Amino acid sequence: MSIVETKDLVFEYIRRDEEGNVEGITRAVDNVSLSIRQGDFIAVLGHNGSGKSTLAKHINAILYPTEGTVWVNGMDTSDDEKLWDVRQSAGMVFQNPDNQIIGQVVEEDVGFGPENLGVPTKEIWERVEESLRAVGMYEFRKHSPNKLSGGQKQRVSIAGVIAMHPKCIVLDEPTAMLDPKGRKEVIRAARALNDVEEITVILITHYMEEIIYANRVFVMDKGRVAMEGTPREIFSQVERLKELRLDVPQVTLLAHELKKSGLQIPDGILTTQELLQALGL
Amino acid sequence: MAIILDHVNHIYEPGTPMAFSALTDVNLVIPDGQFIGLIGHTGSGKSTLVQHLNGLLKPTSGSIYYNGADINADGFNKKELRSKVGLVFQYPEHQLFEIDVFTDVCFGPKNLGLDRKEVELRAYAALKQVGLEDEYFYQSPFDLSGGQKRRAAIAGVLAMKPEVLILDEPTAGLDPKGRDEILDQIAALRQETGMTVILVSHSMEDVARYVDRIIVMNKSRVMMDDEPGAVFKRYGELEEVGLAAPQITYIMQALKEKGLSVDTDIINVEEASQAILRALGR
C-alpha cells in the first residue's frame, strides 16, 4: 500500500513586486506523479530551487496543490476535515534545530505533540520514553535543549515527531547545519526508525553519502522528477548528476575515475568495501 | 605582517555560576596569504575565535595583534580593523536588506566614508569577483536563488577590500555545484589578491580540497594545527572529538591494510586515483 501518492501534482506561486502587483508565476512543482510504499526509505536530491522542499511540504499539508492531488495514508491533503489526520500521519523535521524546539526540558518538548493530539497523560509519558529511546536520547530527557549539540537537538526534534506516531517522517536537510558526528547520529536515528519501527522515511539532503541507505532515490530538477532509481542506479550516472548540479560520494567518484583509466570496475560503487572487492583486494 | 594571538582566553559570563570558558590559552600566528581551515564540533570555540579576530569580542585575558598593533589597546581604530578583517557570518543572506543587490553591496564601502564613485566601483568589482552577472544587479536580493543570495552577501564584505576574509560555514545548505562554485571563486580571489582566507567548515571534504593549513578546535583549545594531510592522518583522534576525515582518507587506509602500497596522506580523489593506478602497476 502506498503511504504517499501524488498524481499530476503542480504547485505554482505568484511573485509580486513591492506594491503587490503580480510580476509572474513560478511553477515550483511541475506535474509530479509518484508513489511511496509504507516502510520505504526514500532520498530526494536536487539543486537549490529544484522544487524538492516544495514537494516535501505537500506531504505534511503545509502547502496544497495548485493542480493535481496528494494522498497521505489514503487521505486527500486538500480535504480540510482531514488536515490534522494528515499532519499526524506524516511528520516533518526541518534544517535548523533551534527553530523547532520549544520545551524547556527535553521530555516536555517531545511530549508537546501528543499532548496537542489529546493523548491521555499516562500514554504521553510512554510515548515520550519510547520516542527518546528510538533516537538514543533517553538519558538526556531531563536536560535543557539549549545545552545539547546540534545532532542531539535534531534527534530531539525527530523524537517529537515520532511521539505523534506518524506512519511517515519527512526530514528536510536535517544535517545541513551539523558537524560530522551530528550528521552520523541523525542518519543513524533515521535508519533505525525505518528498520525497527518501519516508519517511512523521506530524506532530503545535499550530502551524497547519506543517501546510500535509501531503497529509492528521486532526483528533482525544474520541479520535475528528473531521475528515479536505487542509489546504485543513480550514482552510476556521474556525468548526468553533475549536469544537475549534484555530485557522488568520493568512493563512487574514485571508482569512476579508475574505470576511466582502464580498470575493470562496475559502475555505481557505493562503499569502500565494494571498491576493495572490485579491485580484487 | 600577520595576525598573532598571544595566550588568548575568553570566558562568557565570568564571575557568575554560568561562567564558561570558550577559548583557553589560544596561541596562533596567521601569516598573510594563508588559506586556513578551522574545524571543530559544535560548541568547540570556532565562532568565538573568529569573532576575536575583527574585534567583535574582547579576550578576557591575552592579546591579539594585527600587523603588530594590539587591537584591544586604547585608541586602536576598530572600525578600520573591521574593514580589513571581513567576517561573513553563517547564512549571510539573512543580512541582505537593501532594495536591490547593487545597493546592498554598496552599504559597507559607503559606511567607510568613501566617495560615491569609489563605492560603486568597489561594489561592481566585488559582484564580479563572486560571479554575479550584471542582470542581477538591480533585482531585489530576495528574488535571487539561495546560492546567488549568498554570493551577494559575500560581495558585500569583499567590497570593503578586506586583507583577511573569514567565512563561517559559507556553503551550508547549498547544493554540491553551488558549494564548489563559491569555494572555487574564493580560492581564485585569494590567488589574485593574496588575501588571507579563514574557512570555518563542517565539511571535511571542502577543507581538504582548498586549504593549506588546518586548525582543529576542541573544548575551547587548539587541538591540532598542521597541514591537511597530517591532520586527517590522525582521523581516530578527530572522530573522538566529533569530527572525521574525508571519505577518501578512509579508503586509502583500507587499501593500505589490504596490502596495496599507497600513501595514506592522500586527501583528494585525483591523487588517490593516480596513487592506486601506480600501486597496481598501471
For residue B122 the three cell numbers come to: 568597489
Q: Is the pLDDT of residue B1 over 80?
A: no
- Could you give the CA distance from residue A45 to residue A208 in angstroms, rounded to a whole number? 8
Contacts of A148 (CB under 8 A, 6+ apart): A106, A140, A156
Task: State which H helix or E strand residue A227 sits in.
Answer: strand A224-229
The pLDDT-based confidence of B154 (bands split at 50, 70, 90) is very high
Q: How far is CA B276 from CA A28, A124, A135, A244, B184, in A?
A: 44, 56, 39, 29, 26
pLDDT of residue B91: 82
Question: Which segments of chain A does DSSP mark as H helices, in order?
Answer: 52-59, 83-89, 106-116, 121-134, 150-162, 180-196, 231-235, 238-243, 250-260, 272-278
Q: A247 vs B177: CB contact, 8 Å cut-off? A: yes
List of chain B residues whose C-beta atoms are within 8 Å of the C-beta of residue A173: 173
Specify whether the CB–CB gap between B12 and B19 falls below 8 A.
yes
Verify whether the Cβ–Cβ distance A180 to B243 is below 8 Å.
yes
A→B contacts (Cβ < 8 Å), by residue, are 15, 46-50, 95, 149-151, 173, 176-183, 206, 208-209, 242, 245-247, 249-251, 253-254, 257-258, 261-263, 272, 275-276, 279, 281
Chain A residues touching residue B143 (CB < 8 angstroms): 15
Q: Say yes or no for a CB contact (<8 Å) between A272 and B251.
A: yes
Q: Which of residues 223-262 of B touch A (CB under 8 A)?
A: 239, 242-244, 246-248, 250-251, 254-255, 258-260
Q: With an 8 Å Cβ cutoff, is B130 touching chain A?
A: no
A68: three-class secondary structure by DSSP? strand
Helix runs in chain B, H state only: 46-53, 78-84, 101-111, 116-129, 146-158, 176-193, 204-210, 228-233, 235-240, 247-257, 269-279
For A188-232, how does the pLDDT look when each residue is reduced to its tens digit (9 = 90+)?
A: 999 999 998 899 999 999 999 999 999 999 999 999 999 999 999
Confidence band, pLDDT 50/70/90 cuts, at residue A24: confident
Average pLDDT over residues A70-82: 95
Average pLDDT, chain A: 93
Chain A residues close to B259, C-beta within 8 Å = 281
How far is the C-alpha of B58 from the C-alpha of A79, rounded, in Å? 57
pTM of the model: 0.89
Distances (CA, A) of A147 to A29, B57, B91: 39, 22, 22
ipTM: 0.84
Chain A nearest-CA distance from B67, in A, is 33
Nearest CA in chain A to B175: A47
- Asked if residue A248 lies in contact with residue A270, where contact means CB atoms within 8 angstroms, the answer is no
* Helix (H) or strand (E) segment spanning residue B163: none
Taking an 8 Å cut-off on Cβ atoms, the answer to whether A182 and B42 are in contact is yes
CA nearest B154: which of B93, B196, B67? B93
Which of A46, A254, A272 is opposite residue B273, by nearest beta carbon? A254
For residue B38, is it left (φ>0), alpha (ψ between -120 and 50) or beta? beta
**Cβ atoms of A55 and A44 closer than 8 Å:** yes
